[in-house]
Structure 1
C-alpha cells in the first residue's frame, strides 16, 4: 500500500466532502449560511465596517439576541472580525474578513435577486394559491 503525504490526505478529505450528507461539515456550514440573518448581516457589512447599533438599525426585524448570536457565529467561522475600542461607552465595530468578503458577493447577489424578482415570485404564489384552492377537495384537503 502506497503512503500518502499530509497534503494528499487533505486534498482527498476535501474531495470526500459531500454537502448532501447530513453529517458532512459542509452541510452544517450551508445550514449556517442559509440563515436569513446571516445573509442580511453579511450584505450590510459588504459596504464596510459597522457598529453593532448601526447593524441593528439597518436590519429591520432582527432582535438584539439574534443579531448577537449571528455575529458570534460569523466571528467563530472567520467571516466577521470584531474590534473593541475602549471608550465610554465601549465602541464595538464589525467588519468582513477576507473570507467574509469572498462570501459577501454571493449573498449580496442573492439579496439583490430577491429585491429584483419579488414581484414575479408574488405573482407565482398567487397563481399557485388560486390553483391549489380550486384543485383541492374542500372536505379532505387532498388534491382532486
Structure 2
C-alpha cells in the first residue's frame, strides 16, 4: 500500500507521505526480522524516494548510504548506488556523484553478474553526462549495452 501511494504522492501531501515512510520502515523491520532481507531493502528504498519527494535530500542521502553499506546482494548494492548518485545530483553535487559512481563501480564490478556490470556502466554514464563529459558518457553507455 505504501509503495502504491508513494508512487503517486504529491510533495504537498507531507503528513501522509511521512505516515507512508513510517509504514515502509515498519515493514522493512518486520521483513528483516523474518529473514526477507531483499524485500526489507526494497522497503527502505521506498523511504529514500519518499524523502526525496519531501525534498529531504540530506536525510535521503544518509538512508541510502547506510542501505548501500548493508546491501544483501550485488543487485541491491547497485540499486542503492543508483539512488545515491541520483541524490547527490539532486543536491547539485555533480563531482561527488561521479566519485560515488566510480567508487561503486570499482567495488561492485567483481561481485556482480553481467546485469550488475551493465547497470554499473549505466550509473557511471549518468554521472558523466551530468558532469558534461559526453565522450566518456557515450563510451560508458556502449559498455553498458555490451554487457
TM-score range, shorter chain: under 0.3
Give TM-score scaled by structure 2 length. Answer: 0.27
Structure number with greater Rg is: 1
* Higher share in helix: 2
Greater strand share, structure number: 1
Higher relative contact order structure (alpha carbons within 8 Å, sequence separation ≥ 6): 1
With normalisation by structure 1, the TM-score equals 0.27
